[in-house]
Every structure is written in C-alpha cells, then in structure tokens.
Structure 1
C-alpha cells in the first residue's frame, strides 16, 4: 500500500524541508562569518608579531654596540682632557706626540660618528634639558638665563637617539625669591 499524499500535504512537507534548510543556511552563514572574523584576527595578530619581531631585531642590531660604546667613552674623555692641556714644549718629539694624540682623538670621534654615537656637549647659555643633561651643581650667573647651562664638565653621548650617558653640566641658579615685607 502506498500512501498517497494530497497536494497540500506534499506542499507542507516541502515547506518544512525548506524551513529546516533555511535555518541550516543561516547557521552556516553565522559560522562562516565567525570563522572569517577569527581568521582576520589571527592574520592581524601574526602581522603584529612580525612587526614587533622586526622592530626588536632592528633595535638589537642598532643598540648592540651600546655597552661597548659606553666602555670607550672613558677613553674619549681621557683623550679630550689630554688635548685640553697640551704641554708647551718646543721639543719636536713632544710636538709629534701631541699631533699623534690629536689624530687618535679625531679617529675615535669619527668612529663614534660612523656608528651613530653622537656627542652631547651643550654650550654656554643653552637651556638645561634633564633628558640629556645631568646638573652637577648650580651657580649664580649674570651672563646667562637662570636654568641655562654655564659650563659642560663632561660631554654626554647618545646612540641613535637613545641616551648612553648624560652630559654633566653646571647650571645657572634661579634668582632667590625676594623676601616679602610684613
């Protein structure tokens, strides 16, 4: 015996099947959208990780010489001090020695420059910058504005924009506040 359905019953079965299919399609579309969102997040995270790794590798290469450079700063300081007070002897051997020390200092500073190590030696009257300078003392001064550099005691250095050693400076003292009368 075969069951025969009326056309209305057949239409109802087809409509039930279509409703189930439409619900499945909506569920699948929602799942596809969620998976697309997840893929985009994973791709963005991978790109961010790649950029961060590249930046860290570049920083590591750029600043790898920082400790070595810091160790050489004492040598540069000693050469600078030696050249600040050369002996005034007429002996040609001493003069040649002084020229050799001058050439050595120039070569060292040139090597610093080639490798991105920049000397910070603020001039008289330059504004004190706590990010690059270290105030060693304050002194009253009439010829420069308060808070300005009077003298540099020791040059500072920065490597590719990053401070290696601050310049040690003497700063003009701010004028004392005048006492008020009661």
Structure 2
C-alpha cells in the first residue's frame, strides 16, 4: 500500500462524516421551519352565524315543547272543570232518583179502575204526584241527567241490567221488552243502568246479518 493511499483514507472518512452532519443539520432545520410555520398558521375561528342558527333551533324546540305542554295543561284543566260541573251532582241526583222512583210506585199502586172512578180529591192528589215527578225529572235533566230509552232497544250491558227473560219468538233475541226501573245517564256516564226484561227464543240479529252477507257474497 502506497503512502498516498494511506493519506487519502482519513480524508475520505472526514468528508463522509461531514456530509452526514450536513444532512442532519438540514433535516433539523427543515423540521424547525415546519414547526414554526405550523405555530404561526392562523387557527380557524367558529362561524358565529352557525352558532346563532344552532342556538335559535334549540330555543325554538324548547318553545314548541313548552307550548305543547301548556296546551295539554289547558285541555286537562277544561276537562276537569267540565267533569266537576257535570258529575258534582251525581250523588245528589242518584238520591233524587230514589225519590222519583217512590213517586212512580205510588202512582202505579193505584189500579186503573180506581183511577177512572176516583173522586175529585183522589184525582187531584194523583195529578199532584204526577206533576211532582215530572218537575223533578225536568230539574235533573237541566243538570245533565237524562233518561235511558231502553224499551224496544237491543240489550246493551253498558246501559241495561237484565233482570229476567221473556219468551217471545216474534222479536229478535235479547231485545228489551219491559223496563222494571228506568235508567239514567249523567253527561257521558251511566248514573244508573235500566233494569229490564229481555226477549228469549227469537232470531239472533247477528245471525240474520251474517246470513244476508253470505247470500250477497254467493250472488256476486
């Protein structure tokens, strides 16, 4: 190996080390420049218009919910007031119906032939009892108490109470043929169901209706 070769090897090593140091220095400088640029870049601020829109939508939703709650409260209050007016006299009306029933029993206790041949005193008495009964029922009706018209109607357990059955093949089954005690409603509620006698042995209205439908379908 010549002296020239020995002399050039350290120089090459020094040159290579210098190149590596320069590359590291350049990389550090670039990183520092990027970090500075990132730090100096302006931060995007939120759009105040979008924030106002979101706040407005939230307030509108709260207002609609509050308005709906107030409307429901108003309706409940009106219904409670209406029910209080309609049903506050229910107990009193039921007691008055008992008095009316006694007046009717007193009238029915007088036979027809006795009534036809009654003297002036008895006739006046009977007329007074009838007028009292009518006046009482009229007063109750002014307060929402109405009589249930049951005779001739189809039996409805919501309004009628069956006391006995009457064999009758000429009318549909479960038809009210006799009213033992009149029923009354107050508002939309039943104050007292009508006590009735219903028919038995007649045709069923549902069966007749089904037969008609079946016949119509067969013809079509």
Fold shared per TM-score above 0.5: yes
Q: Which structure is higher in RCO with an 8 Å CA cutoff and minimum separation 6?
A: 1
Match of 1:83 in 2: 107
2:178 to 133, 147, 151: 151
Distance apart, 1:175 and its partner CA: 6.0
Q: Would the aligned equivalents of 1:153 and 1:170 in 2 still touch at CA under 8 Å? A: yes
Distance in 2 (CA, whole Å) between partners of 1:143 and 1:76 is 33
Q: Would the aligned equivalents of 1:147 and 1:172 in 2 still touch at CA under 8 Å? A: yes
Distance apart, 1:174 and its partner CA: 4.5
Q: Does 1:20 align with 2:18?
A: no
Q: Does 1:140 align with 2:167?
A: yes
Match of 1:129 in 2: 156
1:101 to 129, 152, 165: 129
SS in 2 for 1:20: coil
Match of 2:73 in 1: 49
Match of 1:114 in 2: 142
- What TM-score do the two structures reach when normalised by structure 2? 0.65
Query: Any gaps of 5 or more consecutive residues in structure 2?
Result: 1-40, 204-220
Q: Which stretch shows the higher mean deviation, 68-77 or 91-100?
A: 91-100
Distance apart, 1:56 and its partner CA: 0.9
| Number of residues of Structure 1 aligned to a counterpart in Structure 2 | 161
Larger Rg belongs to: 2
**1:81-120 Cα deviation digits (max 9, x unpaired):** 2222325163332222112111111111221222221111
Distance in 1 (CA, whole Å) between partners of 2:181 and 2:118 is 30
Distance in 2 (CA, whole Å) between partners of 1:145 and 1:43 is 53
Structure with the higher helix share, 1 or 2 = 2
